[in-house]
Copies of this chain bind each other. A is one copy, B any other.
């Protein structure tokens, strides 16, 4: 269960076996069942989670009861509401398991300790934060400019894993379109 994390770190920074083990000790392994929530809107997010197996989603529910997915987190993804974690503010988002999953959990306090202990681990997180921002900016741009059909084509090309592992209704909510529209788009594609 820790090996996924170790591989992840190893492929990103120069680090000794000893340090890898030290890092591992900061994380608590936990298992969650499909449909189980790790965080609900209004709660303060106490942990970050590293996904070593499975798949989760982070989403927001609007007034009309519609869900809007901000992130799918597969293996080697980090999930959690960083803003809530660092500032102790109630989160705006839910985090829920889509599959039975195995996670490595770390609290704010331990994370800060770890940043002190292993500076390169912190650097890794800073770089991650940078990449996440770029990705999100790209998604923003596509959300603004793409039609429903283009959005589907784009996800097929760039994130096929999502289509393979996530119910289509959630894919639709990630793309910002209705289930029905997504279904019709898929039906059209087949006709060619």
Contact = CB atoms under 8 A, between A and B. Distances in A.
B83 A141 contact: no
A153 to B, nearest CB: 13
Q: Which of A60, A136, A144 has the most CB of B within 10 A?
A: A144
Interface size class of A (residues with CB under 8 A): 20 to 34
A111 interface: no
A33 to B, nearest CB: 26
Contacts of A86: 130
A137 B70 contact: yes
Task: State the number of copies, please.
Answer: 2
A137 to B, nearest CB: 6
Contacts of A141: 60, 68, 70, 92
A134 B68 contact: no
Interface string A57-70: 00010100010101
Interface in A16-71: 60, 62, 66, 68, 70
A188 interface: no
Contacts of A83: 130, 134
A101 B13 CA distance: 40
B92 A138 contact: yes
A123 B176 CA distance: 35
Given A129-B129, A132-B133, A133-B133, A140 B70 contact: yes
Nearest to A140: B140
Interface of A: 60, 62, 66, 68, 70, 82-83, 86, 92, 126, 129-130, 132-134, 136-141, 143-145, 176
Given A92-B141, A133-B136, A140-B140, 16 more contacts: A60-B141, A60-B145, A66-B145, A68-B141, A68-B144, A68-B145, A70-B141, A82-B130, A92-B138, A126-B126, A129-B129, A133-B133, A136-B137, A136-B140, A143-B144, A143-B176
